[in-house]
Amino acid sequence: MATDFHVFDTTLRDGAQREGVSYSVADKLAVARLLDEIGVGYIEGGWPGALPKDTEFFARARTELKLRNAVLVAFGATRKAGVRVEDDPQVRALLDAETPVVCLVAKSDVRHVSQALRTTLEENVAMVSDTVAHLVRHGRRVFLDCEHFFDGYKADPDYGVRVLEAAFAAGAEVGVLCDTNGGMLPMGVGRVVADVRARVGGRLGIHCQDDTGCAVANTLAAVEAGVTHVQGTANGYGERAGNADTFALIANLVTKMDLPVVPPGCLAELQRVSHAIAELANIAPDDHQPFVGASAFAHKAGLHASAIKVSPELYNHLEPAVVGNDMRILVTEMAGRASVELKGRELGVDLAGHADAIGRVVDQVKVLEADGWSFEAADASFELLLRAQLPDAPPALFELESYKTSVEHWGNGVVVSEATVKVHLPNGDGTAERVICTAEGNGPVNALDNALRQALVGRYPHLAGVSLADYKVRILGWKGGTGATTRVLIDTTDGVGEWTTVGVHANIVEASWHALVDALTYAVRHRSPVPAAHA
């Protein structure tokens, strides 16, 4: 591992500045543990003294947080203008947090000194020197975030350098150049970092906001120009458009720049930790996030699949497992024969010697997708469709005679749904058993599900342990000028696994029926009876 390189994560400080995020102290402790698992070197936990929750976090961290890889960092500002550092309560709170490292934010742009701090350039430099020296005297390692460094460098480069020199002279270990307003591009970042390196001797770091969509690229440009400390946040959470994504930074540094910045084994935890932190932040994971998103290695285009069939490297920039992710093949209207073949492999369906069946599936999917079907998110329906084309395809579970649903609104405001299904279950000897079941539900689809399940459960007892986990409806627009087409996706679970099926029709109940039939058929054919522990 590159021990002279710092990966500094500020999910719990800058990441918490994202609109809509509000961690409890317990959440913050959990996020810190997760960040430690991916091997970051430093975890900035928050601003003690400014936010009571952060003060409590540091107090609890002392006994509850056992970090294996990371060092905990408290964040705060330099002393106030005109106040002795010993008398500044905010600086006192930084010492009280008892972290080995303190990261101070300081002004390094002359306009911010005069307009925001409303003090002199000399006093701001003194605020930096005094605060750094005070913390170092009290045994802290100190990093200095130079706010608005790049914007300030355009206005007055000498002043930024003066702030950095004062910090290093007072004992700061790292001077972090911050693109606080996030307006930089990689070329500019590289130029400024190289210039500053030529003028100042200490270790430099980089902190990039993502307002131009270049936070990760800007950070890597800074590394190329010589910084050895990078700041990021989990999934890029942060103020406004966010920060450089810690996961993309680590993955790029290790796999593209050959800098082993995390301990062995940590890289493969990136996807898991990314999703776990999204859960704690209460933000749906971004499927399209580089490296760790569910779609980061998902291939839809038929031409891609045909090359991947020869070698996955041809259309993947990285072996997905390196970052804990998986490759997936999507079968849609854009699929060709190779897509179906690879998807078959992924689903464990042997298609060797079945070129005709593959061709029929490609054609069928194109026609169905033109009618609004979508198998991208409905692997279980696709698997049934695929297997139905093979010579040993099993017969349908039942033949439908009819179904009927009703919704009754009683005078007292109660709404009741009822469904009746009439089906014929084959006996295997050419005869069939006619079964009629009626059930109630909280809506017509729920009633239909209950009635169909009742009709089948005598024959397939493990359907009793199967239930609907989610139900999504999408209206696909007007078709033929007569009505909307409805696509229904149903997630079903047996308590062990989950599978998704799809149905499409102008009538929402009929669309749901298709998805329900697939859901139960898949359960019967491809889910083993649930073990007692899960029943």
Of 105-113, 343-351, 367-375, 509-517, the segment contacting ligand ACO by CB under 6 A is 105-113
Nearer to ligand CC(=O)C(=O)O, 174 or 516 (CB): 174
Cβ pair 1, 264 in contact under 8 A? yes
Amino acid at 320: P
Residue 281 binds which entry of ligand ACO, ligand CC(=O)C(=O)O, none, CB below 5-8 Å type-dependent = none
- Structure tokens, 490: 């149903």
Nearer to ligand ACO, 14 or 379 (CB): 14
Of 46-54, 281-289, 296-304, 501-509, the segment contacting ligand ACO by CB under 6 A is 46-54
Residue 509 binds which entry of ligand CC(=O)C(=O)O, ligand ACO, none, CB below 5-8 Å type-dependent = none
Residue 77 binds which entry of ligand ACO, ligand CC(=O)C(=O)O, none, CB below 5-8 Å type-dependent = ligand ACO
Q: What are phi and psi of 25, to 5 degrees?
A: -65, -40
Distance CA(56)–CA(50), nearest Å, equals 11
> In Å, how far are 161, 342, 426, 490 from 294, measured between CA atoms?
43, 18, 40, 19
Per rule CB under 6 A, is residue 102 in the interface with ligand ACO?
no
Per rule CB under 6 A, is residue 44 in the interface with ligand ACO?
no
Distance CA(160)–CA(399), nearest Å, equals 78
Distance CA(109)–CA(154), nearest Å, equals 9
Pairing of strands 71-77, 42-46: parallel
Cβ pair 57, 46 in contact under 8 A? yes
For the chain, the straight-line distance linking the first and the last C-alpha, in angstroms and rounded, comes to: 46
Distance CA(198)–CA(215), nearest Å, equals 23
Site residues for ligand ACO, 377-416, by CB under 6 A, read: none
Site residues for ligand ACO, 121-140, by CB under 6 A, read: 127
Running DSSP on this structure, what letter comes out for residue 400? E
- 266: Cα within 13 Å, side-chain hemisphere: 24
- Structure tokens, 168: 């290093």
Per rule CB under 6 A, is residue 193 in the interface with ligand CC(=O)C(=O)O?
no
Distance CA(330)–CA(360), nearest Å, equals 17
Per rule CB under 6 A, is residue 78 in the interface with ligand ACO?
yes
Per rule CB under 6 A, is residue 77 in the interface with ligand ACO?
yes
Residue 181 Cβ vs ligand ACO, minimum distance, rounded to whole Å: 9
Site residues for ligand ACO, 314-373, by CB under 6 A, read: none
Distance CA(103)–CA(76), nearest Å, equals 7
Site residues for ligand CC(=O)C(=O)O, 68-127, by CB under 6 A, read: 105
Per rule CB under 6 A, is residue 117 in the interface with ligand ACO?
yes
Per rule CB under 6 A, is residue 47 in the interface with ligand ACO?
yes
Residue 50 binds which entry of ligand CC(=O)C(=O)O, ligand ACO, none, CB below 5-8 Å type-dependent = ligand ACO
Per rule CB under 6 A, is residue 180 in the interface with ligand CC(=O)C(=O)O?
yes
Site residues for ligand ACO, 166-205, by CB under 6 A, read: 180
Distance CA(93)–CA(202), nearest Å, equals 27
Nearer to ligand CC(=O)C(=O)O, 237 or 373 (CB): 237
Residue 112 Cβ vs ligand ACO, minimum distance, rounded to whole Å: 8
Residues in the chain: 535
Residue 299 binds which entry of ligand ACO, ligand CC(=O)C(=O)O, none, CB below 5-8 Å type-dependent = none
Residue 78 binds which entry of ligand ACO, ligand CC(=O)C(=O)O, none, CB below 5-8 Å type-dependent = ligand ACO
- Structure tokens, 333: 């209207």
Query: Pick from 43, 77, 106, 178: which binds ligand CC(=O)C(=O)O (CB under 6 A)?
Result: 178
- Structure tokens, 407: 């919704």
Total residues at the site for ligand CC(=O)C(=O)O (CB under 6 A)?
8
What residues contact residue 227 under an 8 Å CB cut-off, 6+ apart?
177, 193, 204, 205, 206
Query: Pick from 207, 304, 328, 387: which binds ligand CC(=O)C(=O)O (CB under 6 A)?
Result: 207
Residue 64 Cβ vs ligand CC(=O)C(=O)O, minimum distance, rounded to whole Å: 26
Residue 117 Cβ vs ligand ACO, minimum distance, rounded to whole Å: 5
Residue 207 binds which entry of ligand CC(=O)C(=O)O, ligand ACO, none, CB below 5-8 Å type-dependent = ligand CC(=O)C(=O)O
Distance CA(62)–CA(52), nearest Å, equals 16
Q: What are phi and psi of 329, to 5 degrees?
A: -110, 130
Distance CA(234)–CA(214), nearest Å, equals 16
Tokens 């306009």 locate to 111
Site residues for ligand CC(=O)C(=O)O, 6-65, by CB under 6 A, read: 14
| Residue 73 parent element (H or E) | strand 71-77
| Closest to 335 in 3D by CA, of 382, 266, 294, 381 | 382
Nearer to ligand ACO, 115 or 311 (CB): 115
Per rule CB under 6 A, is residue 50 in the interface with ligand ACO?
yes
- 129: Cα within 13 Å, side-chain hemisphere: 11
Distance CA(475)–CA(372), nearest Å, equals 10
Running DSSP on this structure, what letter comes out for residue 47? -
Nearer to ligand ACO, 243 or 274 (CB): 243
Q: Which residues bind ligand CC(=O)C(=O)O (CB under 6 A)?
A: 14, 105, 145, 147, 178, 180, 207, 209
For ligand ACO, the binding residues (CB under 6 A) are: 14, 47, 50-51, 77-78, 80, 105-107, 116-117, 127, 147, 180, 239
